[in-house]
Chains A and B, each alone.
Chain A
């Protein structure tokens, strides 16, 4: 039932990509493939490529930061575990928008970071920290890092400690044990985390707008603009298809890899 409620409206929306837009918005039901040829214009392909790169960088960074963090949390004594997990989830209780605006305060010309850096004499004049692609990456990373940490944490936590003991008992050093036992067995969860971080990063339009200053446009901005500003639903739906395809491909890849790691 839930699937039906999710899939039917999505299919209805996507089906509009085969039609023409109305002069004042809406859809004229007249078959056309013009939306697809438009998608392959360099302008739009560039945005899609940029978005893939940004989301990819965010995902890799999240993995590099998230895995050690999750691993470290799982080794803490129970009391500290709870506190650390709470700290990871705490930002979720604040609105995403507000958290992003908080970054503009931190990073703006006369902001906290620049003040501090000039204060200790590291720099003479404020750095351009805001409104770059790097800022977008930082914002997305900050926004979605916990989606990487939580699945990895639960996988490390679930891992039978006797498997690591068995590995040591058979002569494996702690490093060897990590790469031969711990990592392969927690990899499926890390991939889930990667999908969870990549998909919303790829489609995000709030962060590029607030922290990217509208200069670093991403797929999400395109879709939103087509629907809300240009009132071109058919073309908006066509770009949205790119997102759906990317998401499905990632989920399939994740499923294939984790099936191979588990008992096959």
Chain B
């Protein structure tokens, strides 16, 4: 069931286009991520959903009702701010109770719900502290508790984990996912961190320069990118520009490359993941190059191959340590079905 539908939303700031005809449908109970580099418009979209910005064009419907007609404080949408925006003059319990007090609920119910949610995020012992007395991870959990205690239809999270160090971040990622399953609220998270988006979300919208490039499940995004930007942005990739003619992809300066052309003739790009690239004995007719660098990352090794006639190096990844040494001449190949063709 579609909970939130964003229809053709555009927003300009002066000459800068922040959002350009963005349409996304988000399902009830889904963990959805808006992913893109900074300045791609994802935060503007989030602020439109929360009511702090209004779009120049387009509509936003939540459960069929027009969200844009509601004032920010009347929307059944809660936002967890990037900077947490906790009220510094209130205790943790007061911060969490704030939203419930605005609903004029009985005092006993507020107290019970605050206690319940603080227990859920493991902050009961901190209830009477001020935000300044908490660590970054604890503040983050207060912000989360404050947002979910109102049981919103939709929870928006703006770069929820960016202020945390790596170890705490991994813990919080798991906790967010657990919480989302527990409370059953639809989550929309904005992030520039693709690992975060990949590990958390059911579906991801990749955005660039105010446009939605692709909306798909993480695995699909990784295996079948539909645009050059997505192929380049998500994970490491080897990209060749060229053209498809008669069902065969030829790269500029290299000639035909292994692929299964399913798209029509025309200019296109070929993407092949490093872990799908195979290095072999060079045979005539095959792309050839010289190994220039071998890096061991524990678990995987990356091998960079300088290919004549190509600007960038081709990257290959192998499991464990590589037995190849720099200076070796190799053939570079892959299975045709592993290559992704992206028409321009």
| Interface set of A (CB-CB < 8 Å, partner B) | 160, 162-163, 165-174, 176, 180-181, 184-185, 261-264
Task: Say yes or no: is B81 at the interface (Cβ < 8 Å to chain A).
Answer: yes
The stretch of B29-37, B98-106, B109-117, B174-182 that contacts the partner chain: B98-106
A170 touches B89 (CB 8 A): no
Q: Which single residue of chain A is at the shortest CB-CB distance from B74?
A: A171
B88 touches A262 (CB 8 A): yes
Q: How large is the interface on B (under 10, 10 to 19, 20 to 34, 35 or more residues)?
A: 20 to 34
B83 touches A162 (CB 8 A): yes
B179 to A: closest C-beta gap in Å: 18
**CA A173 – CA B146 in complex, angstroms?**
17
Q: Which of A168, A181, A264 contacts B72 (CB 8 A)?
A: A168
User: Helix, strand, loop or mixed for chain A's interface?
Assistant: helix
A163 touches B102 (CB 8 A): no
Task: Say yes or no: is B344 at the interface (Cβ < 8 Å to chain A).
Answer: no
Q: Which of A160, A176, A180, A184 contacts B85 (CB 8 A)?
A: A160
A171 touches B99 (CB 8 A): yes
B128 to A: closest C-beta gap in Å: 11
A263 touches B131 (CB 8 A): yes
Q: In B212-253, which residues have CB < 8 Å from any A CB?
A: none
| Interface set of B (CB-CB < 8 Å, partner A) | 50-52, 71-75, 77-79, 81, 83, 85-89, 98-99, 102-103, 130-133, 146, 150
B133 touches A263 (CB 8 A): yes
A263 touches B103 (CB 8 A): no
B102 CB contacts on chain A under 8 angstroms: 170-172, 176
**CA A169 – CA B72 in complex, angstroms?**
6
B81 touches A166 (CB 8 A): yes
Can you name 9 A-B pairs with beta carbons within 8 Å? A160-B83, A162-B81, A165-B81, A166-B81, A166-B87, A169-B50, A170-B98, A171-B74, A172-B102
A180 touches B133 (CB 8 A): no
A172 CB contacts on chain B under 8 angstroms: 73, 98, 102
Q: Which single residue of chain B is at the shortest CB-CB distance from A173?
A: B73
Q: Which of A167, A173, A262 contacts B98 (CB 8 A)?
A: A167
